[in-house]
Structure 1
Amino acid sequence: MAEEEKRASPEPPLPSPPESSSQPEHPPPETSTPPATFDPSRMIGIIKRKALIKDLAAAYHVECLALCRELLELQKRKDEPFLDTKATEDLRKETLRSSSKRAKKKR
């Protein structure tokens, strides 16, 4: 029976793995907030904020389009007198050119 007791004795413990110097001595501190879990009540708030942002963007878009139309109208009004004077000047130049130059021969 003494042999059975000797065999049943626990094996010597394995040596612990050597600590590598690449590991920091102090582990980084954990953040105070736990990882985010799914919360349906937060989703409702997110959806409401998203809808408000969409409404605000639509309002700004409408205002932007109105201002762009107004700017285009102002540009047209400003360019109208310039176009009229430019057209009359071009006509004068054309009449002067045609009278001073010889007519080209048609083939």
Structure 2
Amino acid sequence: MDEAKPTFMLPKPVLNAPVTFDPSRMIGIIERKALIKHLADAYYAECLTSHQELLSLQRKWEEMNNERLLMEDTREMMRQPKCPNKNSYSSPQKNSYRNLSPCK
């Protein structure tokens, strides 16, 4: 009757001795912390260069399209104002408004 017991039914080992301080574990923790900090610094530097590159591309695009944007702005300013709908006003001062309106 040498049947192998499934691993989930095996008894858990009992720890009798309290965990003692191991300086080598502390050194490993410090080294991992330094590695994480180094990786974070590298990631931050890479992000900064990407953002600076995107900013320079955006400025270049704005310089190239600045003239076109200015032309669109001047067209907007040169347009005549839209005439109000004559039926939209129901006030008694309708006639005085028509006299002041730029649209005829």
- TM-score, with normalisation over the residues of structure 2? 0.57
Counterpart-to-counterpart distance in 1, 2:16 and 2:42? 39
Please tell me whether residue 53 in structure 1 is matched to residue 27 in structure 2.
Answer: no
For residue 101 of structure 1, what is the aligned residue in structure 2?
A: 80
Shift of the 39–98 alpha-carbon distance from structure 1 to 2, 3 Å rule, reads closer
Matched residue, 2:69? 90
2:11 aligns to what? 30
Please give the alpha-carbon distance, in whole angstroms, between the structure 2 residues aligned to 1:54 and 1:63: 14
Larger Rg: 1 or 2? Answer: 1
SS in 2 for 1:40: coil
> Does structure 1 residue 66 correspond to structure 2 residue 45?
yes
Aligned length: 75
List alignment gaps of at least 5 residues for structure 1.
1-27
Deviation at 1:44, TM superposition (A): 1.8
- The 1-side partners of 2:33 and 2:63 are apart by 45
Cα–Cα, structure 1 residues 45 and 99, in superposed 2: closer, same or farther, change >3 Å?
Answer: same
Structure-2 change in CA distance of 1:36 and 1:73 (3 Å):
farther
Q: Which residue of structure 1 lines up, in the alignment, with residue 93 of structure 2?
A: none
Looking at structure 2, the residues matched to 77 and 83 of structure 1 have their Cα atoms a distance apart, in angstroms, of: 10
Which 5+ residue runs of structure 2 have no aligned equivalent?
Answer: 1-8, 82-99
Q: Which residue in the other structure is 1:21 paired with?
A: none
Higher mean alpha-carbon deviation, 89-98 vs 55-64, is at: 89-98
* Identical columns (%): 8
> Which amino acid is the alignment partner of residue 77 of structure 2?
S
Q: What SS does the aligned partner of 1:38 have?
A: coil
Match of 1:30, as an amino acid?
P
